[in-house]
Amino acid sequence: MNWEHRKYRPLGAYSQSKLANLLFTVELQRQLTDSGSAVRAVAAHPGVAHTNLISHVGGFRGAANKLLLAPITQDGQHGALPTLYATTQDIPGGSYVGPDGLIHTKGYPEMAKPSRASRNADLARSLWATSARLTRTDFPVPATV
């Protein structure tokens, strides 16, 4: 964790953070279900939305990113659609919503299949416990919400 014992790779760290998001959703939904709560935890991703997120990357790398990513990006409004769908539709807890288009980088919202690693309940519990320990924070899920 935290790239303390290996060389930091920005794309690897980004990918790992997205896996952690899905694992947290899995564990939160498990805890909500176990507590009898009707609240649902769902995850959504915007695909590759053309926003200012990578605008700080300059030089050759920045120009290459813009050129190479252009065919698979969508505007910010379309990037927001999966999140809007996840929050307004009656979908099961633990669901994952993303774009339906080419390699799931753009398009309209659909229920997506998360990676096998992100569905690992033991890994989700472990990440939750490790995060609580590292932040010295307990994340209690109320019995009824």
Q: What is the DSSP string of 104-119?
A: GSSSSEEE----TGGG
Residues 64-102: tens digit of each pLDDT: 767 777 788 888 899 999 999 999 999 999 999 999 988
d(CA 92, CA 115): 17
Catalytic residues: 14
Q: Are 19 and 76 in contact (CB under 8 A)?
A: no
Number of domains forming the structure of the chain:
1
82 within a domain of the structure (yes/no) = yes
**Residue 78 sits in which domain range?**
10-135
CATH number at 87 reads 3.40.50.720
142 within a domain of the structure (yes/no) = no
141 within a domain of the structure (yes/no) = no
2 within a domain of the structure (yes/no) = no
54 within a domain of the structure (yes/no) = yes
Q: How far is CA 18 from the centre of its chain?
A: 4
110 within a domain of the structure (yes/no) = yes
Reading the chain (145 residues) residue by residue, the pLDDT tens digits are 778 899 998 888 989 999 999 999 999 999 999 999 999 999 999 998 877 766 666 677 667 767 777 788 888 899 999 999 999 999 999 999 999 988 899 999 999 988 999 999 999 999 999 999 999 998 888 766 5
